[in-house]
Structure 1
Amino acid sequence: MRIETQSVNWDRLEEATVPDAPDGDSVSDGLLYAGTLKWFDVTRGFGFVVGDDPSVGDILIHFSVLQPHGRRSLPEGARIECRAVVRDRGLQAVEIVSIDLTNAVEPLPRARSSGDRIDPVALIEAAGPFEAVTVKWFNRLKGYGFLVRDADSADIFVHMETLRRAGLIEVDPDQRLRARIVAGRKGPLAVAVEEEA
């Protein structure tokens, strides 16, 4: 039996639409799906798996289905097998069957007091005004990428947290943005970004 699902852009969910925990669904009602975790927001308590079958689309993972596995979140790149049911906005997992962390990328450790990692927020006051940039590439699993400055074609490092602060979950090559840039220890660094108007 094949269930038709609609394609939903889960990445652009509004703050007020945090999904509820699955309830009232029998696990036996769900079909088995496999995929890779795209992202998981620990604060909001949910994330999405990209199904191995492209026609499936994204599958919502609420933290409550991770609790039987002793977890409240998962790192990006984790392989998941789950039972999911169709909800108003698409598929939602009602049971996690298996979790494989072999290729998962654990979150970067917090900055150490020795100052090894620069906090972009602390550099915003030193940044120039917003200027036009283009996404060169961005790797969500690594958590960083590069922008290209329109003015001089220089590469500018951008961290995932800088994108998240701007409400951007994903960016694509050649996407137009605006960024505030500072001179970092290893070169230009974007400390704030926004979508081009």
Structure 2
Amino acid sequence: MTTTSSEAAPVSGRVKWFDPSKGFGFVIADDGGPDILLHANVLRNFGQSSVADGARIEIAVQKTERGVQATQVLKIEPPEPESGVPLADFENIDPDVMANAPLEPARVKWFDKAKGFGFANVFGKPEDVFIHIEVLRRSGLADLQPGEALAIRVVDGKRGRMAMEVHAWETALSR
């Protein structure tokens, strides 16, 4: 890869789409211009294996012979929720309990994007934690890989322990 510009410039925008199985996606810059390639390795260097479509993102970019590419992810914010309505599983949970739930270290046991859910194990606790695809999306993620390190906020729901917020481990350290 030969670069036509040696300095990476910061750009803010939205994730157009990202497909972890393809290993890339594209960002639309707020200031317009061509789509910006976001490679999975650049996202992994930020500590995430995926990012939700529509998420706000701040990246360093570089122009190359093949177009504009992200070289570093600086910040990711989850997409705006489609409505202010909480998920049905959280309707009857005290908002103070949800607001004060600590971030807990966990690893993904399995996650099936097609089914829309999966499970994680919190370190030192025997029971699985249910993770719904909508919670993942509202947290700015699109998919999870087995063994991936997470920081999650967990509440006791109707069907057992449930994640209400999910973060890649590396990004949670700054929260």
TM-score with structure 2 length normalisation? 0.48
Larger Rg: 1
TM-score with structure 1 length normalisation? 0.43
Greater RCO structure (CA 8 Å; 6+ sep): 2
